[in-house]
Amino acid sequence: MEAGGGAAEDEWLLESLRLYEALHTFELQAPTRVIEWARGSRVCVAGYGHSGGNEILQLLPPPTLQVKETQGLCPERDFKVECGGFSNRPVYSLKHVPDTSLLVTSGPPDSSLQVWQVSAEDSASRNSEELSDVAFLDCNTLLICCVKGQLCLADIRQPQSPLEAASVPSAPCGERWCMGVGRGPQGSDSSSHPVARLSSGGQLTLTDVRKTSESLASAKCRVSSPSPSAEFLCVSWAPALEGCVAVSGFDGTVHVYETQSWDSSGREAEPLFVHKGHAFSGLDGGEGPPLVTVHTWHPQKPRTLLSAARDGSLHVWDWVQSRGSCG
């Protein structure tokens, strides 16, 4: 982290010495709203500007993420660009196709999908609803979430087949939705994937991909107001912590929740941990705290996350485990 960030940032750094096992920060050339893990622990990011020329980058993460020893706070700017290309449209969603070198992206002005290999653009698939998220359940099956909250299953081997939409959770009209798809509990059916849908009003609904029309649990995230820019809503499941989800897109923070005790009441949930680093890093810029645009979990390290904000900041953080918390 660069020096000269102001008193608020210095205070947050001192507090971080007690709260984080590790913290890395990195400045991107342009802000991103997607962070995706690719083969070999690579990290993919992409721009979302509407003026064209949005760069898609594949980055090599800091070496400290490849070892088991904890390193503490580290100001190294040690993400390395491995390869990249450019998209003429904003990238609102980016997914790596498992066991391949393919990336799938989507973004306005329509609902088409772009399939990338190195720098070559391949085919597109269309749906009449605006999309918010796309997730691969296996190499052939996709789960698609529309901004109105519907979930649709699609098979890339049958691109022209009609999509059937699951019912939308009960929520005020006009709210936008995003989704996060996780892995089933250890030892469970391989077709079992937990799905979390997050609304711009902070409602979080949990379902199973095998029966998306039925809600397993729901809760209200602890947010003071609806998301000011709903296209940055992000919810994700921890791959190495059972029942933990992270939520961002409402302000300059990332909230982590433990969901195993949730029921269908929809009551407000208490976050397990709140990352406030992006909020402090932008206080001295005159425009207020920067909005967090995206976050993702490390695939092996249980409590390590990456997050990015509208000011271009990219953080890697690992919170200190407390008694009674997941992990």
User: Which has more confidence, 6 or 257?
Assistant: 257
Q: With 50 as the cut, is the pLDDT of residue 123 above it?
A: no
Place of tokens 């099956």: 141
List, for residues 39-56, the tens digit of each pLDDT value: 778 889 999 988 778 899
- Which pLDDT score is estimated for 324? 52
- Which pLDDT score is estimated for 213? 72
Q: Which residue ranges make up each domain of the chain?
A: 7-318
How confident is residue 60, by pLDDT bands cut at 50, 70 and 90? confident
List, for residues 63-112, the tens digit of each pLDDT value: 767 655 555 555 455 678 888 888 888 999 999 888 777 888 999 888 88
- Which pLDDT score is estimated for 18? 74
Q: With 50 as the cut, is the pLDDT of residue 10 above it?
A: yes
Q: C-alpha angle 64/70/73, rounded to 5°?
A: 80
- Which pLDDT score is estimated for 237? 95
**Cα–Cα distance, 153 to 134 (Å, whole number):** 10
User: Which has more confidence, 153 or 249?
Assistant: 249
Fold classification of 7-318 (topology level) = Methylamine Dehydrogenase; Chain H (2.130.10)
The stretch 238-260 carries a mean pLDDT of 94
Q: C-alpha angle 290/92/238, rounded to 5°?
A: 75
Share of the chain above pLDDT 90, in %: 31
How confident is residue 286, by pLDDT bands cut at 50, 70 and 90? low
**Cα–Cα distance, 309 to 287 (Å, whole number):** 13
Phi, psi of 85 (to 5 degrees): -165, -175
- Which pLDDT score is estimated for 167? 61
Computed over its alpha carbons, how large is the radius of gyration of the chain?
A: 19
Q: With 70 as the cut, is the pLDDT of residue 139 above it?
A: yes
- Please report the sign of the dihedral spanned by the C-alpha atoms of residue 96, residue 100, residue 101, residue 105: negative
**Cα–Cα distance, 39 to 206 (Å, whole number):** 28
Q: Is 280 helix (H, G, I), strand (E, B) or coil?
A: helix
- Which pLDDT score is estimated for 118? 44
**Cα–Cα distance, 201 to 265 (Å, whole number):** 16
**Would you call 30 exposed, middle or buried from its count of C-beta atoms within 10 A (0-12, 13-18, 19+)?**
middle
pTM value is 0.74
- Which pLDDT score is estimated for 24? 76
Strands 72-73 and 20-27: parallel
Structure tokens at 243: 């029942």
